[in-house]
Amino acid sequence: MTLALGLVADLVDVDALRASFVTHPPTTAGGSVRWVDVEHHASLPSTNRRALELARPGLVVLADHQSAGRGRLDRGWESPVGASLLLSATVPVPATGTGWLPLLAGLAVARAVREVAGVRAVLKWPNDVLLPADEDRKVCGVLCELGSAPGRAPVVVVGIGVNLTQGSDALPVPTATSLALAGAGSVDPTALAGAVLRHLAVAVDALVAGGDAAAAARASYRGACDTLGREVRLQRTGAPDVVGTAVDLDDDGRLVLETAAGERGAWAAGDVVHARREPVGP
């Protein structure tokens, strides 16, 4: 299926996005995250690279196009000009639970997609955002990187790319999709960016607060993670694949797999491939 979809000029209204931080604060008073600076670029090599260069807490970098975008496991990220929401946001490094930050960033996107686009989204561990309405194809990737600048505390740069308007011929792999292909209709990129940043701030604040807030955030991720309970293949760079049932996440956000032999192990990185579900009914 190919859609003749137009590109979006001036993808995000930066003034409206800044105003939303005032009218709809990302989190409660006293929270650790405040979006204080927004940069918009027509094109950048990478929004993450720009955010890492500056490493300022509360910075949001947006671009209509990336010439050298990157995803997890050092993969490239391709998108036509104006067809994806491309942003990077800098957040403080939580004292504990840092391993959960990439996971909760994915949860923030899934919640924003449902809120703004009206499309149900689920997560493939650790943070791929999938759309069940389009055969669990991937609509968003998340890349978190640690950065610092002289005289400043370290930050985590959370890079997010959401496919908005691509037709199938503009997507790099058949397992990818866009909100348009999933039937979302017209999606306001500014509203989506604002929702992503708001949910991300809430997630980071929960990790920083610890205790019940962090536990609730981890429980919310488990509820949205479609990997748990499924047979999966974990593909690892330079190491054999691991095949088993995804039974849990440990305290550091690692995926716990149980093999057919009953052996359990926890894995911090790798590419998960879900086994196809068997059809139900006659």
Nearest Cα neighbor of 58 from 156, 203, 142 is 156
Site of tokens 């942003």: 87
Angstrom distance (rounded) from CA 219 to CA 114: 18
Q: Domains of the chain (ranges plus CATH)?
A: 14-224 (3.30.930.10), 231-274 (2.30.30.100)
What pLDDT shows up at residue 276? 79
What pLDDT shows up at residue 181? 95
Per-residue CA distances from 265 to 104, 210, 217, 222, 275 (Å): 22, 25, 23, 18, 19
CB 87 within 8 A of CB 34: no
Angstrom distance (rounded) from CA 194 to CA 12: 10
Q: What is the residue-level pLDDT of the chain in tens, covering all 282 positions?
A: 233 333 444 589 999 999 988 765 655 445 668 898 999 999 999 999 999 999 999 999 999 999 865 655 455 556 678 899 999 999 999 888 899 999 999 999 999 999 999 999 999 999 999 999 999 999 999 999 999 988 888 999 999 999 999 998 889 889 999 999 999 988 999 999 999 999 999 999 999 899 999 999 999 999 999 999 999 999 998 899 999 999 999 999 999 999 999 999 999 999 999 987 654 445
The β-bridge relationship of strands 84-92 and 59-63 is antiparallel
The β-bridge relationship of strands 137-147 and 155-163 is antiparallel
What pLDDT shows up at residue 34? 87
SS3 152: coil
Find all residues with CB under 8 Å of 37, minimum gap 6, and list them.
56, 58, 59, 60
Tokens of 90: 């800098």
What pLDDT shows up at residue 152? 87
Tokens of 43: 């094109």
Residue 267 phi/psi, 5-degree rounding, is -125, 135
